[in-house]
Amino acid sequence: MKLTREFEERISRLHLQNKVFGGVYSGRGQEAIAVGCCADLGPQDVVFPLHRDLGVFVVKGVEPGRLMAQILGKEGGLSRGKDSFLHAGDLSKGVFGGTSMLGATLPVACGAALKFKLRHEPYVAVAFFGEGASSRGDVHEAMNFAGVHQLPVVFVCENNRYAYSTPQSLQMAVEDVAERAAGYGMKGLVCSGNDLAAVLETMGRALRRARDGGGPTLVECKTYRYRGHSEHDPARYRTEEELLEWSTRDPIPRWELYLEARGRDVAKVRRETEAEVTRVVDEAVAFAEASPEPEGPEAFEDLYATPLAVPEAPEGPAAFEPEPPQLTH
């Protein structure tokens, strides 16, 4: 969590320094979700992060340097400078990068889960989406399919109450996105997305069900984004009270209290973590800044796995000529 947050802090700072161009979407305040949902995943489990889920990349083991280079649009980034911010993935670590189109990864996650099921593999696909994205048709098609085939997939809704400026009340007529799970024949679970222990526990149940062949789960994590939709957004559509109210529920102190209650020396943990975090982020920034900018013609690379060097066409009339068409319909 701390790493995510520090990473994001650094991105904000770089953004302020004008080194990041393009959209920057902060997940500040929501870090417990990515951490809690990915903590128990192995490298073969495939995750489908959302635009605020820097933490998913981090916890799944994507190299921080490549991640930072990705954000800076460098050759060393996951997409080699091709796409921006978190629109990139590293499948070797089980991270599938989405397009910008909200909700569009959920069908893809079903395809991954289908593979696990067909091959009797004990892995899980985990797809993140916002409460705003829940309105997209793709989300429905995916959940329905997952229900029919009882796929090993967990849909994680990060419900932070806003989609850009749009409050949940204009996004849907229900309180919980998880209410929809029943209509797909799957389980819906709701938890506090600001409470790492709760996320871990809830996600644990969903993962166990998926691995045991019990089918899909919709996990809804209630949370709040502290910052604007993107770094450009002052988020005037929210009240200060609301922001303050949610600030008191910050996931990091909450987790520290939890650890403390279990007898951990939080001050020590904090010191160690902070040092480690600073080191990792420093190294990532150093790597990213040292990474070369792509030159230009790389724009044609990675389009095709099998590029076609068009060979000579076979000359002369073809061996087979079709009969004149006989329209039978």
Partner 1 sequence: MPVATYLQAVNLALKEEMRRDPDVFVMGEDVAVLGGAFKATEGILDEFGPDRIIDTPISEALLVGAGVGAASLGLRPIVEMQFMDFISCGFDQLVNMAATARYRHGGGLRVPLVVRGPTGAGVHGALFHSQDPEAWFTRVPGLKVVAPATARDARGLLKAAIRDDDPVIFLEHKRLYRSVKEALPDEQEPEPLGVARLARGGSDVSIVTYGGTLPLCLAAAERLAAEGVDVEVLDLRTLLPMDFAAIARTVGKTGKLLAVHEDRRTGGLGGEILARVVEDLWDELDAPPRRVTAKDTHTPFAPTLEAFVLPSEDEIADAARGLAAY
Task: Please give the residue ranges that form the binding site for Mg ion (CB under 5 A).
Answer: 130-132, 160, 163
Q: Which 299-318 residues touch ligand TPP, going by CB under 6 A?
A: none
Of residues 42, 43, 75, 100, which one binds ligand TPP by CB under 6 A?
Answer: 100
Q: Provide the b/e sequence for 89-108 (b: ≥16 CB within 10 Å).
A: bbeebbbbbbeeebbbbbbb
CB 224 within 8 A of CB 213: no
Q: In the complex with ligand TPP, which residue's Cβ is closer, 136 or 140? A: 136
Distance, CA of 278 to CA of 268 (rounded, Å): 15
Indicate whether 230 belongs to the interface with its own copies (CB under 8 A).
no
Of residues 56, 78, 133, 281, which one binds ligand TPP by CB under 6 A?
Answer: 133
Indicate whether 84 belongs to the interface with ligand TPP (CB under 6 A).
no
Of residues 130, 147, 152, 215, which one binds ligand TPP by CB under 6 A?
Answer: 130
Dump the DSSP string for 139-183: HHHHHHHHHHHT-SEEEEEEE-SEETTEEHHHH-SSS-GGGGGGG
Q: Is the dihedral of CA 311, 312, 318, 322 positive or negative?
A: positive
Kindly state the number of chain residues that form the binding site for its own copies, as judged by CB under 8 A. 25
Indicate whether 237 belongs to the interface with ligand TPP (CB under 6 A).
no
Q: How many angstroms separate the Cα of 113 from the Cα of each of 34, 92, 214, 291, 304?
A: 19, 17, 13, 35, 25
Q: In the complex with its own copies, which residue's Cβ is closer, 99 or 169? A: 169
Q: What residues line the site for ligand TPP (CB under 6 A)?
A: 50, 52, 100-102, 130-133, 136, 158, 160, 162-164, 229
Q: What residues line the site for its own copies (CB under 8 A)?
A: 135-141, 144-145, 147-148, 150, 169-174, 179-180, 182-186
